[in-house]
Structure 1
Amino acid sequence: MFDTAVTRMFGTRLPIVAGGLMWLSEATYVAAGARAGIMSYLTAASFPEPRALRAEIAKCRALADGHPFGVNVSMLPKLVPGDKVADTFALIADEGIRFVETSGRNPAPYLDQLKDAGITVLHKVPGVRYAVSAQTAGVDMVSIVGAECGGHPGLELIGSMVNQALAGRRLDIPYLIGGGIGCGSQIIGALASGASGVVIGTRFLVAEEIQAHDGYKQALISAGETDTELTMASVRNTVRTLRNETTRLVTELEASSPDIGIDDLLPLVSGKIGRKAYETGDVSHGLLSAGQALGFTDAIAPLAEIVRALEDEMQHALERLRQLQTTHGEQGDVRA
């Protein structure tokens, strides 16, 4: 039904990519996405031991029933001692994985390694200017996430609609639009603007296959598009998360201490704190990535059911467009 660079490149049925979710994109969820006809990625950082990552890849391959999936590699913004990105890419190649999603810094130093292994690289960025740099470096596709996204929307906070219009003017490679995407009509809008698909995160957090406490998912369902908070701009690492006690404390600290550093914030924002919410359902503490697409999280459901709902909404949007068109005369004038 849809034939875009995304469906052709990945061999999927729909032009939808489920971006990697730290601690949550494991085999059960990723394989469910693969079977539903979308692209999905295991998060390598969730399995820091090589043996564990290999085991998760094997499990996902068994559950995916031959459908494509990939591995997300989130790279620190700066090289640090002991950086194992190259080793992770070597493991992924050895496992025969054909698709990688990268983020965090420009993947240019690793592209020769990935290309030699026949791996397709989708690089995630928070704005079109970074997408242009990634294109110059030689990635195959970019996903551009706008200010509405959960997680890291960048420092400039450019909205998704602006990103998708600018990307069509400035990019030659295929691109995805993300940030606040949770409805099928948005997907059609992105495709109409020239995108080859969309990337979705928050809308899928309430999927049954997400291995997290129901209390966490119910909190997302109860929340809406106004229930997120931007913090961490003081350390140039802006993050959008579910509003809670932690975001209140971090906001107060950032406002009161102009010279605050990451070491001052770490006791509040450590990933280990947020991970407990997935295990216990208590969402009062930790930075829990969530975007404005919370407005669309209405029920816990199988991922395939959520994807089908998006697909139905896409069809309705297309039908509305058809009804707006009326062709007259030999010149085919279109009136709306």
Structure 2
Amino acid sequence: MDARATGPTPDSVLQTRLTALLGIRHPILLGGMHHLGTSGVVAAVVNAGAMGFITARSFESLDDYRADLRRCRTLTGGLPFGVNLTMSRREDYNRLVPDWIRIAFEEGVRLFESAGSSPEALVGPIHDGGGILVHKCPSVRHAVTAQRLGVDAVALVGLEEGGHPGANQLSAFVNGAFALERLDLPLVIGGGIGSGRQIAAALALGADGVVMGSRFMVASEIAAHDALKHRIVASDEHCSTTILGSLGDTWRVLANDSARAVQRLEAQGASDHAAFGDLILSSRTRQRVYQRGEVEAGIVSLGPAGGFADAIEPAGRIVARLVADARAACDALAGRRVGLPA
């Protein structure tokens, strides 16, 4: 096997149940990213020793999806990578899920991340095909249910998560601390994590790894306009805000003019998604922000971890920096001594 894919050495402080389960060197997952989670950035993360998931829902056709899986396999030299299956609460939006799973297996993919609705319908087909399923959810209650349903690992996100953290009002580390008392499966935590020190803190807490997204928004391989990446690099920890909480559909996003327009409509009493027109449509974000670089013109999923981004650089470099900082933090913790009176 390629050295990039080998597991960590036995004495590595970053060796966890997650790295063993997925066959990776670093306990870092690049979670699904709508429209952006494609082969370029996923392969770069995988080649750096972590794990990434191509977002199936991002593609306009099954042929495009299959082609990107094949491209990722080429870019990774055959190293394992994953597929994200985001389940909608609207059943008609899930009609392609069986095809996404089938095509993934046909193209040699065995690792999956699910998010959104319950993973109950996914566990059987994925396990029957010899796959591994990591389910991402926003609350300890949902994590316990996912464990009962038979998933292989759980990713638990806090309210800081860029995107849709659900109705959860707890931070990633509070969520994680409670979950560790109730789960036996490998546990990954996410939400607001953008530094190696936080990865070390997650491991010290007892988690098996972290799931990230916002920190990688500035990766060279991300198919988004450089204007957006420069905007994120120039931002700080206050780069995000939340919208649609009044509809029970909280969404953490880049704090820009479009987000503020949505907030004004909410304050005026907008009571359903249709009231926001095309402001919240992903097609608008894809065309105007990701493709044209009009950073104020659409809603961009982003959490405060975007504030850690300080340069547009390859995803592999981001992984390397995170790992180096995490190791340094772990070493500092191990070497710390407190002098007590005799």
- Structure 2 length as normaliser, TM-score? 0.92
SS at match of 1:22: coil
CA distance in 2, matches of 1:231, 1:93: 37
Distance in 2 of aligned mates of 1:20 and 1:66: 20
> In structure 1, what residue type is equivalent to 2:100?
T
Aligned match of 2:217 in 205, 230, 236?
205
Question: What's the secondary structure of 2:133's corresponding residue?
Answer: strand
| Structure 2 residue 281 is matched with structure 1 residue 270 | yes
Which position in structure 1 is the counterpart of 2:301?
289
Shift of 1:82: 6.9
* Counterparts of 1:23 and 1:139, CA distance in 2: 25
Deviation per CA, 1:114-160, whole angstroms, max 9, x where unpaired? Answer: 11001100111112111111111111111111111110111122101
Q: Which residue does the alignment assign to 1:331? A: none
Q: Which amino acid aligns with 1:123?
A: H
Check conservation: 2:110, 2:131, Cα contact below 8 A: yes
Provide the C-alpha distance between the structure 1 equivalents of 2:132 and 2:142, rounded to a whole number of angstroms.
19
**Correspondence 1:213-252 to 2 at 5 A:** 213-252=225-264
d(CA) in 1 for partners of 2:52 and 2:338? 39
My pick for the range that moved more, 143-152 or 314-323, is: 314-323
Within 5 Å, give how 1:84-123 maps onto structure 2.
Answer: 84-123=96-135
Residue of 41, 51, 68 corresponding to 2:53:
41
Aligned partner of residue 73 in structure 1, secondary structure:
strand
Relative to the length of structure 1, the TM-score reads: 0.94
Aligned to 1:330: none
The separation in 1 between residues aligned to 2:108 and 2:129, in whole angstroms, is: 8
Give 2:67's match in structure 1, choosing from 55, 63, 70: 55
The AA in structure 1 aligned to 2:322 is: L
Equivalent of 2:323 in 286, 308, 311: 311
Cα deviation 1:31-90 (Å, max 9, x = unaligned): 101100000011101114111111110100000123221111111023127722122212
- 2: distance between equivalents of 1:270 and 1:7? 36
The aligned counterpart of 2:44 is 32
Aligned partners of 2:232 and 2:239 also within 8 Å: no
Residue of 161, 165, 178 corresponding to 1:149: 161
Contact persistence 1:78–1:105 (CA under 8 A):
no
C-alpha distance in structure 2 between counterparts of 1:21 and 1:96, whole Å? 21
Spell out, residue by residue over 1:266-321, the C-alpha distance to the aligned partner (whole angstroms, 9 max, x if none). Answer: 42100011112111121102110110112201111111111111111112211221
Task: Kindly provide the amino acid, as one letter, of the partner of residue 132 in structure 2.
Answer: T
Matched with 2:92 is 80
Equivalent residues of 2:217, 2:306 under 8 A apart: no
Q: Secondary structure, in 3 states, of the residue corresponding to 2:267?
A: helix
Unaligned runs of 5+ in 2: 1-11
Matched, 1:65 2:65: no
Displacement of 1:22 in angstroms is: 0.8
> Aligned letter for 2:300?
L
Match of 1:196 in 2: 208
SS in 2 for 1:80: helix
- Counterpart of 2:332? 320
**Matching residue of 1:137:** 149
- DSSP 3-state at the match of 2:18: helix
State the one-letter code of the partner of 1:59: R
The 3 A distance-change label for structure 1 pair 14 and 271 is same
Contact 2:232 2:307 in 1 (8 A): no
State whether residues 42 and 70 of structure 1, in contact with CA within 8 Å, keep that contact through their aligned partners in structure 2: yes
Structure 1 residue 235: deviation in Å? 2.2
Aligned structure 1 segments of 4 or more residues deviating by more than 3 angstroms: none
Give the one of 12, 17, 29 matched to 1:5.
17
Comparing 80-89 with 100-109, greater Cα deviation is found at 80-89
The aligned amino acid for 1:141 is A
Deviation at 1:322? 2.2
Among 292, 313, 333, which residue is 1:301 paired with? 313
Q: Work out the CA distance in 1 between the residues paired with 2:227 and 2:79.
A: 31
How many residues are paired up? 328
User: What value does the CA root-mean-square deviation take over the aligned residues?
Assistant: 1.6
- Does the 8 Å CA contact 2:80/2:109 hold for their aligned counterparts? no
- The aligned residue for residue 3 of structure 2 is none
Residue 187 of structure 1: how far off its partner (Å)? 0.7
Percent of pairs identical after alignment? Answer: 39
Contact 1:204 1:306 in 2 (8 A): yes
- SS of the aligned residue for 2:316 comes to helix
Contact 1:12–1:68 at 8 Å: present in 2 too? no
